[in-house]
Amino acid sequence: MNVIEISLADIELGDRLRAVDVDWAQVIAASVMEHGQRTPIEVREQKGRGKKPYALIAGAHRIRAVFLAGLDSIFAIVLKADDLQAKLLEIDENLCRRELSALDRAVFLAERKRVYEELHPEAKHGGDRKSDQARTLAHLIPSFTEATAQKLGVDASTLRRSLARFSSISPDVREKIAGTWLAESGSQLDALAKEVPEMQRKVADFVVQWPGVRQVKEIVRQIRKLPVPPEPGKLEKFLAFFRKCDPEEQQTIVEHAAGQMPAVAFEAAWTKGSAYQREMIVDFLAPHLPGFVRESEVA
């Protein structure tokens, strides 16, 4: 790809999904002043009366940085893309950046899903697949989840969770919490998404007014004026830890505990186990007990 130099005045910025962070642009500007522009922006040509020669695809922060550095032109790569393809390129360029908040990522993924399914309606679940050609294309074009997971190197469950944050949190709430600590925490956004819109708005107001409280569960408790829950005891803390372990780790813990107190472990297994589980215990113990005879064998 050829890199060309373009006047800033010839570039149409358009509506961006993400606002320019001026502080970050100033950091880039300092680098530009010291080392020059190291990474070109991406643009596409556009024609039409009253339009500027180029439309920005990716690089809004770099444009602001070059302007802050006192320059009036910028290095760019000219790509061939229509409106939807350009939007997809903008989204992907942002999704690959580490500084995106969990909320920003949810917004970008939701927009990517919309654009991707508009570009590839055959890949959309339940889309128009009446013709043989459409049915054939549906098998060739990956679904949004499959394509995006491969593109970003994440698993499908992560994508679904992020999309759920976008769809479950009210738009006005998303706008209000943008830039707060809550926008950075995926787990707390998940907790917020479980609340009804009215409570979400109250939580958002609380976060803005009292940013020191950083648990949605605690914020909801205070809003509802509920009593402070008692401090969890040792057993509750252990069970909470145990539930977070994977099956292999849980088995190791149980085996270790049973080895420390075998009589207690056996009594608990026998008294609290189901009839089927008791049968399994008997089948396991029978060969190890001299003189043990099953009732069915006596009959």
Q: What's the one-letter identity of residue 75?
A: F
Same domain for 103 and 60? no
pLDDT score of 18: 74
Write down the residue that tokens 């402070």 correspond to.
Answer: 228
Is 292 inside a domain boundary? no
Same domain for 163 and 182? no
Q: At CA 119, angle to CA 115 and CA 120, rounded to 5?
A: 115
Is 215 inside a domain boundary? yes
pLDDT score of 135: 47
Counted domains in the chain: 4
The Cβ of residue 125 has, within 10 Å, a number of other Cβ atoms equal to 9
Q: How far is the C-alpha of 24 from the C-alpha of 26, rounded, in Å? A: 5
Q: Where among 80, 113, 132 does a domain terminate?
A: 80
The band of 165, judged by pLDDT with boundaries at 50, 70 and 90, is: very high
Q: What percent of the chain has pLDDT over 90?
A: 46
The band of 125, judged by pLDDT with boundaries at 50, 70 and 90, is: low
Is 287 inside a domain boundary? no
Same domain for 74 and 107? no
Q: What is the pTM of this model?
A: 0.58
Q: Is the pLDDT of residue 74 over 90?
A: yes
195, burial (CB in 10 Å: exposed 0-12, middle 13-18, buried 19+)? buried
Is 90 inside a domain boundary? no
What average pLDDT does the chain have? 85
pLDDT score of 229: 84
pLDDT score of 142: 64
Same domain for 155 and 106? yes
pLDDT score of 134: 43
Domain around 23: 3-80
Q: How far is the C-alpha of 44 from the C-alpha of 56, rounded, in Å? A: 7
Q: pLDDT tens across 75-123, in order? A: 999 999 888 888 888 888 877 765 678 998 899 889 888 888 888 777 6
- In angstroms, what CA-CA distances link 33 with 3, 15, 78, 88? 20, 27, 24, 31
Q: How far is the C-alpha of 2 from the C-alpha of 44, rounded, in Å? A: 13
Q: pLDDT tens across 264-293, in order? A: 988 988 899 898 888 888 888 777 777 666
pLDDT score of 120: 78
pLDDT score of 255: 92
The band of 138, judged by pLDDT with boundaries at 50, 70 and 90, is: very low
Q: Is the pLDDT of residue 152 over 80?
A: no
Residues 72, 8 contacting (CB under 8 angstroms): yes
Is 75 inside a domain boundary? yes
Q: pLDDT tens across 182-231, in order? A: 999 999 999 999 999 999 999 999 999 999 999 999 999 999 999 988 88
The band of 130, judged by pLDDT with boundaries at 50, 70 and 90, is: very low
Is 238 inside a domain boundary? yes
Same domain for 257 and 219? no
Is 204 inside a domain boundary? yes
CATH number of the domain residue 60 falls in = 3.90.1530.10
Q: pLDDT tens across 34-49, in order? A: 889 989 999 999 887 6
Give the list of residues 6+ apart from residue 275 with CB closer than 8 angstroms, or none. none
Is 290 inside a domain boundary? no
